[in-house]
């Protein structure tokens, strides 16, 4: 872990003065390294979120930061127009004293944003009210960006949600068997390959013109939204690294994958892993209340399926990383990626079993949301 001295040094390069008063690391994200640092000046405390960008994942941090700075600037303006509080409802990045959007130190690259205080994230929750408000927030986020110039967005990770390519990468990793683990995962591999046809569905709908390309967040997992400590409502969508052209399925599906599961993403006891119909309904209701009229009938009809698709894709990615020797996601134990893959595939099985029920919930909530809008 980075030393406090390194972090303070980074803060100074962003023009932050004062005496360091508090420091801690956030461990929930799988990609970047994130720290909270507080500084005191004249008895006043100011908190900052310092982040080391994972440059193995994000190859062009300057383009990445351009994206985020432009999008947050645009969001601030829209939030202000709608009478919201841009300081709490979107991220605010600091510039370095030289006017840079991030700080290069050798191979590493740092950025700092204002810490949104009196907020928290969930890694797992069964609070349906909060989850409903997260759905509203993400639906609102999609609507706020509906007229953002899509062509101006740099693709921070090409083919990020191209599920067929993710499956092809899994097959290649199994074939190459770089670290000799393929023999341990034959069951998981069969599970993944048996569902290859499903992987094609979302992109086929796009090709057929049945669903549109939108500006999407692409990483809507539960701990990528901040909740207000007091009201427990979703306030700010964070982790904007993967804002790119995408499908509404990606944002709806990933939120369900992470937030409607009855267990953590790395729960080993698979008997605990299922989908909560209450949480599924809560998010669906919130999301659709914010954006039902903007969605096409094919988008609505495939929302429940998209939850399965994103869960499947995530399992495929964890399994691929396990086969490649854990080069992408942060891990705590040598089998962490395998545990995560098994967990996601169990969730896929549960979603398959419950699909008629989940589809019915989407139908009911879409009707309700449409009626309320009339
Ligand atoms: P990663 O890309 O590694 O997932 P995130 O950008 O999601 O990193 O940040 C990791 C965690 O840090 C979040 O889950 C959240 O708890 C916290 N966090 C991030 N940004 C802020 C912020 N501006 N204010 C308060 N907490 C934040
Ligand atoms: C990563 O960065 P984080 O932890 O919010 C990953 C997502 C995965 C998720 C699985 C850029 O999200 O795509 O769905 O882990 N982000 C990136 O937990 O790859
Ligand atoms: Mg995150």
DSSP letter string over 41-88?
Answer: ETTEEEEEEEEE--TTT-S-HHHHHHHHHHHHHHHHHHHHHTT--HHH
Give the pLDDT score at 2.
80
CA atoms within 13 A on the CB side of 82: 14
Instruction: Find the angle CA(13)-CA(17)-CA(22) to the nearest 5 degrees.
Output: 100
Q: Does residue 146 sit in the same domain as residue 45? A: no
Q: Does residue 42 sit in the same domain as residue 184? A: no
Q: Does residue 314 sit in the same domain as residue 270? A: yes
Cα–Cα distance between 102 and 30 in angstroms, integer? 20
Q: Does residue 105 sit in the same domain as residue 145? A: no
- Ligand 2 contact, 31 CB (< 6 A): yes
What domain range is 103 assigned to?
A: 4-117
Q: Does residue 154 sit in the same domain as residue 108? A: no
Q: Does residue 233 sit in the same domain as residue 88? A: no
Pocket test for ligand 2, best of 27, 28, 29, 31 (most atoms within 8 A of CB): 31
Q: What is the CATH number of the domain that holds 47?
A: 3.30.200.20
224 Cα nearest atom in ligand 2: 5
The pairing of strands 225-228 and 108-114 is unpaired
Asked if residue 123 is part of any domain, the answer here is no
Pocket test for ligand 1, best of 157, 235, 238 (most atoms within 8 A of CB): 238
Asked if residue 178 is part of any domain, the answer here is yes
Q: Does residue 60 sit in the same domain as residue 157? A: no
Pocket test for ligand 2, best of 221, 243, 329 (most atoms within 8 A of CB): 221
Largest CA distance in the chain: 63
- How many structural domains does the chain have? 2
- Ligand 2 contact, 321 CB (< 6 A): no
User: For ligand 3, a single-atom ion, which residues have Cβ within 5 Å?
Assistant: 29, 224, 239
Asked if residue 122 is part of any domain, the answer here is no
Q: Does residue 197 sit in the same domain as residue 290? A: yes
Coil, strand or helix: which one is 40?
strand
- pLDDT digit string (tens) for the chain, length 374 residues: 788 899 999 999 999 999 999 999 998 899 999 999 999 999 999 999 999 999 999 999 999 999 999 999 999 999 999 999 999 999 999 999 999 999 999 889 999 999 999 999 999 999 999 999 999 999 999 999 999 999 999 999 999 999 999 999 999 999 999 999 999 999 999 999 999 999 999 999 999 999 999 999 999 999 999 999 999 999 999 999 999 999 999 999 999 999 999 999 999 999 999 999 999 999 999 999 999 999 999 999 999 999 999 999 999 999 999 999 999 999 999 999 999 999 999 999 999 999 999 999 999 999 999 998 77
Asked if residue 299 is part of any domain, the answer here is yes
Asked if residue 177 is part of any domain, the answer here is yes
Q: What is the dihedral of CA 128, 129, 132, 136, to 10 degrees?
A: -170
Select from 127, 124, 170 the least CA-distant residue to 267.
124
Q: Does residue 104 sit in the same domain as residue 145? A: no
Q: Does residue 157 sit in the same domain as residue 87? A: no
- Ligand 1 contact, 27 CB (< 6 A): no
- Ligand 2 contact, 30 CB (< 6 A): yes
- Residue that is last in its domain, among 88, 117, 146: 117
- Residue that is last in its domain, among 117, 149, 173: 117
- Residue that is last in its domain, among 67, 85, 117: 117
Asked if residue 85 is part of any domain, the answer here is yes
Ligand number nearest CA of 166 is: 2
């Amino acid at each position: 872990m980075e030393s406090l001295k390194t972090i303070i040094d980074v803060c100074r390069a962003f023009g932050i003065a004062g005496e360091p008063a508090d420091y801690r690391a956030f461990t929930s994200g799988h990609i970047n390294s994130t720290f909270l640092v507080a500084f005191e000046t004249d008895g006043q405390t100011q908190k900052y979120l310092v982040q080391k960008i994972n440059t193995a994942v994000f190859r062009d941090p300057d383009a990445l930061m351009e994206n985020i700075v432009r999008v947050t600037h645009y969001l601030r303006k829209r939030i202000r127009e709608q009478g919201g509080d841009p300081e709490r409802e979107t991220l605010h990045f600091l510039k370095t004293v030289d006017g840079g959007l991030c700080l290069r130190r050798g191979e590493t690259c740092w950025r700092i944003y204002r810490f949104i205080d009196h907020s928290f994230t969930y890694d797992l929750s069964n609070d349906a009210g909060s989850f409903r408000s997260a759905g509203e927030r993400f639906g609102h986020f999609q609507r706020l960006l509906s007229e953002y110039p899509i062509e101006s967005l740099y693709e921070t990770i090409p083919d990020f949600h191209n599920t067929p390519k993710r499956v092809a990468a899994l097959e290649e990793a199994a074939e190459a068997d770089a670290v000799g683990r393929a023999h341990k995962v034959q069951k998981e591999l069969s599970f993944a390959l048996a569902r290859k046809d499903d992987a094609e569905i979302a992109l086929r709908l796009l090709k057929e013109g049945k669903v549109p390309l939108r500006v999407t967040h692409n990483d809507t997992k539960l701990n990528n939204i901040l909740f207000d400590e007091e009201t427990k409502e979703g306030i700010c969508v964070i982790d904007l690294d993967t804002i790119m052209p995408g499908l509404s399925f990606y944002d709806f599906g990933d939120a369900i994958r992470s937030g409607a599961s009855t267990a953590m993403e790395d729960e080993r006891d698979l008997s605990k892993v299922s989908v909560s119909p209450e949480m599924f309904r809560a998010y669906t209701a919130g999301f659709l209340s914010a954006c039902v009229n903007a969605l096409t009938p094919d988008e609505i009809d495939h929302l429940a399926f998209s939850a399965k698709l994103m869960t499947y894709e995530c399992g495929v990615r964890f399994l691929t990383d396990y086969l490649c020797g854990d080069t992408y996601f942060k891990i705590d134990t040598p089998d962490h990626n395998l545990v995560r893959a098994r967990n996601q595939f169990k969730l896929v099985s549960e979603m398959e079993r419950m699909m008629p029920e989940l589809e019915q919930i989407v139908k009911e909530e879409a009707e309700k949301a449409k009626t309320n809008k009339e």
